Amino acid sequence: MTKFRVTLKDPDGVFESVRDHAESIAAEAKKSPAVAELADGDWAGSIQAAIGKKIERWVEHGEYVIIEFDTDAGTATVVEVGK
């Protein structure tokens, strides 16, 4: 069995991807008439913070991701921080 790990460091990639996703969610939510009245808050920023908190399990310091490849099984898995 051949398993190995690769650590990727991209200080902007994770941040920008999460920000873009948060902005997309906020823009879609604001299309609803019931929500549009509440649109004066920083929804994207709040959503981005919530997503960032949820992915801390796999993304260390907002920029490091470890992927474990198993060439025999043909899989790639993101490793939890500290494992």
| Chain position carrying tokens 């823009």 | 27
pLDDT at 3: 95
pLDDT at 38: 64
- Secondary structure letter of residue 69 according to DSSP: E
Sign of CA dihedral 45, 50, 53, 54: negative
- Domain containing 64 equals 3-79
pLDDT in tens, 33-83: 776 666 566 788 889 999 999 999 999 998 999 999 999 999 999 999 998
Q: Please give the structure tokens belonging to residue 14.
A: 């994770």
Q: Model's pTM, two decimal places?
A: 0.77
| Chain position carrying tokens 């650590």 | 7
Domain count, the chain: 1
Q: Binning pLDDT at 50, 70 and 90, where does residue 22 land? A: very high
Cα–Cα distance, 52 to 43 (Å, whole number): 14
pLDDT at 43: 80
